[in-house]
Copies of this chain bind each other. A is one copy, B any other.
Amino acid sequence: MINRLIAKIQQTNAPIVVGLDPTLKLVPRHLQKAAFAELGETLEGAAEAIWQYNKGLVDAICDLIPAVKPQIAMYEQFGIPGLAAFQKTVDYCKEKGLIVIGDVKRGDIGSTSESYAIAHLGKVRIGEREHYSFNEDFATVNPYLGSDGVKPFMKVCKEEKKGIFVLVKTSNPSSGEFQDRLIDGRPLYEIVGEKVAEWGADCMGDSYSYVGAVVGATYPEQGKVLRKLMPKTFILVPGYGAQGGKGADLVHFFNEDGLGAIINSSRGIIAAYQQEKYARFGEEGYADAARAAVIDMREDIAQALAAGR
Protein backbone atom coordinates (compact mmCIF):
# COMPACT_ATOMS: atom_id res chain seq x y z
CA MET A 1 0.00 0.00 0.00
CA ILE A 2 2.94 2.36 0.64
CA ASN A 3 4.08 1.63 -2.94
CA ARG A 4 0.59 2.44 -4.19
CA LEU A 5 0.52 5.66 -2.16
CA ILE A 6 3.83 6.75 -3.65
CA ALA A 7 2.68 5.88 -7.18
CA LYS A 8 -0.50 7.91 -6.66
CA ILE A 9 1.48 10.88 -5.31
CA GLN A 10 3.70 10.79 -8.40
CA GLN A 11 0.75 10.41 -10.74
CA THR A 12 -1.20 13.35 -9.23
CA ASN A 13 1.95 15.35 -8.56
CA ALA A 14 0.36 16.21 -5.23
CA PRO A 15 1.83 15.01 -1.92
CA ILE A 16 -1.48 15.96 -0.37
CA VAL A 17 -4.02 14.20 1.78
CA VAL A 18 -7.34 15.89 2.47
CA GLY A 19 -8.73 15.48 5.97
CA LEU A 20 -12.41 14.60 5.85
CA ASP A 21 -13.21 15.94 9.31
CA PRO A 22 -16.81 17.07 9.09
CA THR A 23 -18.22 18.96 12.05
CA LEU A 24 -21.69 20.41 11.55
CA LYS A 25 -20.21 23.93 11.70
CA LEU A 26 -18.47 23.17 8.42
CA VAL A 27 -21.37 21.49 6.61
CA PRO A 28 -23.19 23.95 4.31
CA ARG A 29 -26.67 24.84 5.53
CA HIS A 30 -28.51 23.52 2.48
CA LEU A 31 -27.14 20.03 3.15
CA GLN A 32 -28.06 20.19 6.82
CA LYS A 33 -31.54 21.44 5.97
CA ALA A 34 -32.18 18.63 3.48
CA ALA A 35 -30.90 15.95 5.86
CA PHE A 36 -32.85 17.26 8.83
CA ALA A 37 -36.02 17.57 6.74
CA GLU A 38 -35.72 13.89 5.92
CA LEU A 39 -34.45 12.48 9.22
CA GLY A 40 -34.93 15.19 11.84
CA GLU A 41 -32.31 16.83 14.05
CA THR A 42 -31.16 13.38 15.07
CA LEU A 43 -27.92 11.41 14.97
CA GLU A 44 -29.22 9.91 11.74
CA GLY A 45 -29.89 13.38 10.32
CA ALA A 46 -26.42 14.61 11.22
CA ALA A 47 -24.84 11.46 9.79
CA GLU A 48 -26.72 11.95 6.51
CA ALA A 49 -25.61 15.60 6.35
CA ILE A 50 -21.92 14.77 6.81
CA TRP A 51 -22.12 11.89 4.35
CA GLN A 52 -23.65 14.14 1.65
CA TYR A 53 -21.02 16.79 2.42
CA ASN A 54 -18.23 14.23 2.06
CA LYS A 55 -19.66 12.81 -1.13
CA GLY A 56 -19.76 16.27 -2.72
CA LEU A 57 -16.17 16.94 -1.65
CA VAL A 58 -14.85 13.60 -2.87
CA ASP A 59 -16.58 13.93 -6.24
CA ALA A 60 -14.99 17.36 -6.68
CA ILE A 61 -11.42 16.54 -5.73
CA CYS A 62 -10.81 12.80 -6.20
CA ASP A 63 -8.90 13.24 -9.47
CA LEU A 64 -6.47 15.75 -7.93
CA ILE A 65 -5.24 13.93 -4.84
CA PRO A 66 -3.87 10.53 -3.88
CA ALA A 67 -5.51 10.12 -0.51
CA VAL A 68 -8.02 11.23 2.08
CA LYS A 69 -7.82 11.06 5.86
CA PRO A 70 -11.18 10.83 7.61
CA GLN A 71 -10.87 11.67 11.33
CA ILE A 72 -13.04 9.07 13.03
CA ALA A 73 -13.71 11.24 16.12
CA MET A 74 -15.87 13.54 14.01
CA TYR A 75 -18.06 10.56 13.09
CA GLU A 76 -17.93 8.81 16.46
CA GLN A 77 -19.55 11.84 18.10
CA PHE A 78 -22.71 10.97 16.16
CA GLY A 79 -22.74 7.44 17.58
CA ILE A 80 -23.65 4.43 15.47
CA PRO A 81 -25.18 6.49 12.63
CA GLY A 82 -22.02 8.60 12.55
CA LEU A 83 -19.80 5.55 12.34
CA ALA A 84 -21.99 4.16 9.56
CA ALA A 85 -21.30 7.44 7.70
CA PHE A 86 -17.57 6.90 8.34
CA GLN A 87 -17.86 3.40 6.86
CA LYS A 88 -19.77 4.72 3.84
CA THR A 89 -17.16 7.45 3.34
CA VAL A 90 -14.28 4.94 3.47
CA ASP A 91 -16.01 2.66 0.96
CA TYR A 92 -16.91 5.51 -1.37
CA CYS A 93 -13.42 6.98 -1.38
CA LYS A 94 -11.93 3.59 -2.22
CA GLU A 95 -14.44 3.14 -5.03
CA LYS A 96 -13.21 6.48 -6.36
CA GLY A 97 -9.61 5.21 -6.35
CA LEU A 98 -8.48 7.17 -3.32
CA ILE A 99 -6.23 5.74 -0.62
CA VAL A 100 -7.86 6.03 2.79
CA ILE A 101 -5.85 6.87 5.89
CA GLY A 102 -8.09 6.24 8.89
CA ASP A 103 -7.10 8.87 11.45
CA VAL A 104 -8.04 6.76 14.43
CA LYS A 105 -5.00 7.18 16.72
CA ARG A 106 -5.71 3.82 18.32
CA GLY A 107 -3.25 2.12 20.59
CA ASP A 108 -3.57 -0.56 23.23
CA ILE A 109 -1.75 -3.78 24.07
CA GLY A 110 -1.55 -7.32 22.78
CA SER A 111 -4.84 -8.84 21.69
CA THR A 112 -6.60 -5.50 22.18
CA SER A 113 -4.28 -3.71 19.78
CA GLU A 114 -4.73 -6.62 17.40
CA SER A 115 -8.50 -6.11 17.59
CA TYR A 116 -8.06 -2.45 16.64
CA ALA A 117 -5.76 -3.45 13.79
CA ILE A 118 -8.35 -5.95 12.58
CA ALA A 119 -11.14 -3.39 12.95
CA HIS A 120 -9.41 -0.85 10.75
CA LEU A 121 -7.03 -2.72 8.47
CA GLY A 122 -7.72 -6.43 8.63
CA LYS A 123 -10.24 -9.23 8.56
CA VAL A 124 -12.01 -10.70 11.56
CA ARG A 125 -12.60 -14.45 11.74
CA ILE A 126 -16.16 -15.49 12.59
CA GLY A 127 -16.66 -19.25 12.64
CA GLU A 128 -15.42 -20.48 9.26
CA ARG A 129 -15.64 -17.08 7.59
CA GLU A 130 -13.60 -13.89 7.51
CA HIS A 131 -15.01 -10.38 7.21
CA TYR A 132 -13.58 -6.91 6.80
CA SER A 133 -14.90 -4.32 9.23
CA PHE A 134 -13.90 -0.70 8.48
CA ASN A 135 -11.14 -1.68 6.06
CA GLU A 136 -9.13 1.51 5.64
CA ASP A 137 -5.74 1.36 3.84
CA PHE A 138 -3.68 3.02 6.58
CA ALA A 139 -4.37 3.85 10.22
CA THR A 140 -2.71 6.25 12.66
CA VAL A 141 -1.38 4.67 15.86
CA ASN A 142 -0.42 6.08 19.28
CA PRO A 143 2.99 4.83 20.53
CA TYR A 144 2.67 5.50 24.29
CA LEU A 145 2.28 1.80 25.13
CA GLY A 146 5.43 0.77 23.25
CA SER A 147 6.07 -2.19 20.93
CA ASP A 148 3.23 -4.23 22.46
CA GLY A 149 0.86 -1.66 21.02
CA VAL A 150 2.45 -1.28 17.59
CA LYS A 151 3.51 -4.82 16.64
CA PRO A 152 -0.03 -6.23 16.35
CA PHE A 153 -0.67 -3.50 13.76
CA MET A 154 2.52 -4.46 11.92
CA LYS A 155 1.39 -8.09 11.83
CA VAL A 156 -1.94 -7.18 10.24
CA CYS A 157 -0.20 -4.75 7.86
CA LYS A 158 2.04 -7.56 6.62
CA GLU A 159 -0.91 -9.86 6.03
CA GLU A 160 -2.98 -7.21 4.29
CA LYS A 161 -0.23 -5.16 2.63
CA LYS A 162 -1.41 -2.06 4.42
CA GLY A 163 0.33 0.54 6.56
CA ILE A 164 0.34 2.71 9.68
CA PHE A 165 1.52 6.15 10.69
CA VAL A 166 2.79 6.31 14.27
CA LEU A 167 2.48 9.59 16.22
CA VAL A 168 5.97 10.99 16.78
CA LYS A 169 5.74 14.78 17.14
CA THR A 170 2.20 16.09 16.96
CA SER A 171 1.21 19.50 15.58
CA ASN A 172 -0.54 20.92 18.65
CA PRO A 173 0.85 23.67 20.92
CA SER A 174 1.13 21.42 24.01
CA SER A 175 2.74 18.49 22.16
CA GLY A 176 6.00 19.38 23.87
CA GLU A 177 4.72 18.70 27.39
CA PHE A 178 5.83 15.09 27.13
CA GLN A 179 7.19 14.72 23.58
CA ASP A 180 9.93 17.35 24.01
CA ARG A 181 11.18 16.17 27.41
CA LEU A 182 14.86 15.32 27.28
CA ILE A 183 16.07 11.75 27.75
CA ASP A 184 19.86 11.46 27.84
CA GLY A 185 19.91 14.89 26.24
CA ARG A 186 17.51 14.00 23.44
CA PRO A 187 13.78 14.74 23.22
CA LEU A 188 11.30 11.89 23.60
CA TYR A 189 10.03 12.39 20.03
CA GLU A 190 13.50 11.46 18.74
CA ILE A 191 13.48 8.28 20.84
CA VAL A 192 10.05 7.45 19.42
CA GLY A 193 11.25 8.37 15.91
CA GLU A 194 14.19 6.00 16.24
CA LYS A 195 11.85 3.24 17.32
CA VAL A 196 9.60 3.96 14.33
CA ALA A 197 12.61 3.59 12.03
CA GLU A 198 13.48 0.31 13.75
CA TRP A 199 9.92 -1.05 13.43
CA GLY A 200 9.84 0.20 9.86
CA ALA A 201 13.01 -1.64 8.83
CA ASP A 202 11.05 -4.84 9.35
CA CYS A 203 8.21 -3.68 7.04
CA MET A 204 9.79 -2.33 3.87
CA GLY A 205 8.00 -1.52 0.63
CA ASP A 206 10.09 -0.81 -2.47
CA SER A 207 11.72 2.39 -1.23
CA TYR A 208 9.85 3.36 1.93
CA SER A 209 8.55 1.43 4.89
CA TYR A 210 4.88 0.90 5.46
CA VAL A 211 5.40 1.96 9.05
CA GLY A 212 5.22 5.73 8.74
CA ALA A 213 5.30 8.62 11.21
CA VAL A 214 3.18 11.65 12.07
CA VAL A 215 5.16 14.90 12.48
CA GLY A 216 3.38 18.26 12.64
CA ALA A 217 4.02 20.98 10.03
CA THR A 218 4.04 23.42 12.93
CA TYR A 219 7.43 22.04 14.04
CA PRO A 220 9.65 22.35 10.94
CA GLU A 221 12.98 22.24 12.83
CA GLN A 222 11.99 19.02 14.56
CA GLY A 223 10.82 17.72 11.19
CA LYS A 224 14.29 18.30 9.79
CA VAL A 225 15.92 16.23 12.52
CA LEU A 226 13.35 13.48 12.28
CA ARG A 227 13.64 13.34 8.49
CA LYS A 228 17.33 12.41 8.90
CA LEU A 229 16.69 10.03 11.75
CA MET A 230 14.05 8.08 9.79
CA PRO A 231 15.23 8.21 6.15
CA LYS A 232 13.00 5.35 4.96
CA THR A 233 9.93 6.51 6.88
CA PHE A 234 7.06 8.21 5.10
CA ILE A 235 5.91 11.20 7.14
CA LEU A 236 2.28 12.24 7.41
CA VAL A 237 2.35 15.97 8.13
CA PRO A 238 -0.72 17.57 9.73
CA GLY A 239 -0.96 21.21 10.75
CA TYR A 240 -0.66 22.88 7.33
CA GLY A 241 -3.14 25.69 6.75
CA ALA A 242 -5.69 26.19 9.53
CA GLN A 243 -3.17 25.21 12.23
CA GLY A 244 -0.56 27.66 10.94
CA GLY A 245 1.94 25.51 8.99
CA LYS A 246 3.16 27.17 5.75
CA GLY A 247 4.52 25.82 2.47
CA ALA A 248 8.04 26.94 3.28
CA ASP A 249 7.90 24.97 6.54
CA LEU A 250 7.35 21.75 4.64
CA VAL A 251 10.58 21.49 2.68
CA HIS A 252 12.53 19.62 5.33
CA PHE A 253 9.91 16.90 5.69
CA PHE A 254 10.81 15.69 2.19
CA ASN A 255 13.80 13.65 1.09
CA GLU A 256 16.14 14.46 -1.80
CA ASP A 257 14.02 12.21 -4.02
CA GLY A 258 11.13 14.66 -3.59
CA LEU A 259 9.24 11.97 -1.69
CA GLY A 260 8.91 10.90 1.91
CA ALA A 261 6.11 13.19 3.06
CA ILE A 262 2.42 13.71 2.52
CA ILE A 263 0.85 16.93 3.76
CA ASN A 264 -2.60 16.97 5.31
CA SER A 265 -5.06 19.82 5.15
CA SER A 266 -8.56 19.49 6.55
CA ARG A 267 -10.56 22.66 7.24
CA GLY A 268 -8.38 24.60 4.80
CA ILE A 269 -9.82 22.48 2.00
CA ILE A 270 -13.19 21.14 3.10
CA ALA A 271 -14.36 24.49 4.46
CA ALA A 272 -12.51 26.65 1.95
CA TYR A 273 -15.87 28.25 1.08
CA GLN A 274 -15.85 29.90 4.54
CA GLN A 275 -12.60 31.74 3.71
CA GLU A 276 -12.66 35.17 2.11
CA LYS A 277 -10.32 33.90 -0.58
CA TYR A 278 -12.90 31.42 -1.86
CA ALA A 279 -16.08 33.28 -0.91
CA ARG A 280 -16.92 33.75 -4.58
CA PHE A 281 -18.01 30.09 -4.74
CA GLY A 282 -20.73 30.65 -2.16
CA GLU A 283 -21.92 28.10 0.38
CA GLU A 284 -23.60 25.88 -2.22
CA GLY A 285 -20.37 25.89 -4.21
CA TYR A 286 -18.39 24.41 -1.29
CA ALA A 287 -17.12 21.50 -3.38
CA ASP A 288 -15.78 23.77 -6.12
CA ALA A 289 -14.18 25.95 -3.45
CA ALA A 290 -12.48 22.82 -2.08
CA ARG A 291 -11.21 21.97 -5.56
CA ALA A 292 -9.74 25.46 -5.97
CA ALA A 293 -8.12 25.21 -2.55
CA VAL A 294 -6.51 21.86 -3.42
CA ILE A 295 -5.07 23.36 -6.60
CA ASP A 296 -3.69 26.32 -4.65
CA MET A 297 -2.22 24.02 -2.00
CA ARG A 298 -0.56 21.87 -4.66
CA GLU A 299 0.98 25.02 -6.13
CA ASP A 300 2.09 26.32 -2.72
CA ILE A 301 3.89 23.06 -1.96
CA ALA A 302 5.45 22.80 -5.43
CA GLN A 303 6.81 26.34 -5.15
CA ALA A 304 8.15 25.73 -1.67
CA LEU A 305 9.88 22.55 -2.79
CA ALA A 306 11.34 24.25 -5.88
CA ALA A 307 12.62 27.15 -3.75
CA GLY A 308 13.97 24.84 -1.07
CA ARG A 309 16.13 22.73 -3.36
Contact = CB atoms under 8 A, between A and B. Distances in A.
Interface of A: 21, 23-24, 32, 36, 41-43, 45-46, 71, 73-74, 76-80, 82-84, 87, 105-113, 115-116, 118-120, 124-129, 131-134, 142-149, 167, 170-179, 181-184, 188, 191-192, 195
A24 B144 contact: no
A149 B112 CA distance: 22
A109 to B, nearest CB: 4
Contacts of A127: 32, 36, 41, 45
Contact of A192 (B45, B106, B142, B178): B178
Given A126-B45, A144-B144, A112 B80 contact: no
Given A41-B129, A74-B115, 13 more contacts: A23-B111, A71-B112, A73-B106, A79-B119, A82-B119, A105-B108, A144-B170, A145-B174, A146-B175, A146-B177, A147-B174, A181-B183, A188-B188
B183 A182 contact: yes
A29 to B, nearest CB: 11
B145 A112 contact: no
A172 B148 contact: yes
Contact of A107 (B105, B171, B188): B105
A73 B108 contact: yes
8 contacts: A46-B124, A71-B108, A77-B119, A77-B133, A80-B80, A143-B178, A147-B177, A183-B188
B77 A118 contact: yes
Contacts of A110: 172
Given A170-B109, A178-B191, A195-B177, A76 B116 contact: yes
Contacts of A149: 172, 174
B183 A170 contact: no
Contact of A126 (B46, B147, B181, B191): B46
Contacts of A36: 126-127
A259 to B, nearest CB: 27
Contact of A131 (B42, B113, B181, B195): B42
Contacts of A174: 145-149
